[in-house]
């Protein structure tokens, strides 16, 4: 019985913001583990799709110089901090910022959620699924 599961395509990654707030510290922690990819969630306390364009340019330069890549955007899109009753435009603006940044970095994965749990019984399932289908469509 063969146990070879194509390990050449498996790599480890993690939220480096748990090791450091700044990208230099995140890169150092990632390299210290022998890894070469970060699931980027927060840089200097802001999500990667929320930092300024100038800060994002600096992030790209640091990553290129370090040999570390961003394999996944750990976004705040539709996360627990967002209410399903809030305007959908909030989500659309985040997506509009995330997609070109993902393209620039060659990042093919984004982590999203399904909005915060509502108080009471009505969780607005139709609206949740409508929004999530639209989010998926925009990222495809």
Reported as a single tens digit per residue, the pLDDT across 20-74 is 999 999 999 999 999 999 999 999 999 999 999 999 999 999 999 999 999 999 9
The structural domain count of the chain equals 1
For residue 44, give its domain range. 7-139
Residue 51 lies in a domain: yes
Instruction: List the CATH number of the domain containing 113.
Output: 3.20.20.150
Instruction: Label each residue of 6-24 as H, E or C.
Output: CHHHCCCCECHHHCCCCHH
Is residue 2 included in any domain, yes or no?
no
Instruction: Give Dmax over CA atoms of the chain in angstroms.
Output: 54
pTM for the model:
0.88
């Amino acid at each position: 019985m063969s146990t070879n599961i194509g390990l050449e395509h498996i790599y480890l990654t993690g939220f480096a913001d748990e090791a450091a707030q700044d990208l230099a510290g995140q890169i150092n922690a990632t390299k210290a583990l022998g890894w070469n990819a970060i699931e980027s969630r927060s840089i200097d306390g802001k999500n990667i799709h929320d930092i300024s364009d100038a800060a994002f340019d600096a992030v790209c330069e640091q990553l290129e110089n370090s040999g570390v890549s961003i394999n996944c955007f750990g976004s705040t899109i539709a996360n627990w901090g967002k209410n399903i009753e809030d305007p959908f435009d909030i989500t659309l603006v985040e997506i509009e910022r995330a997609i070109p940044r993902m393209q620039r970095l060659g990042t093919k994965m984004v982590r999203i959620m399904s909005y915060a749990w509502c108080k009471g019984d009505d969780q607005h399932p139709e609206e949740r699924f409508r929004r999530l289908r639209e989010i998926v469509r925009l990222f495809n």
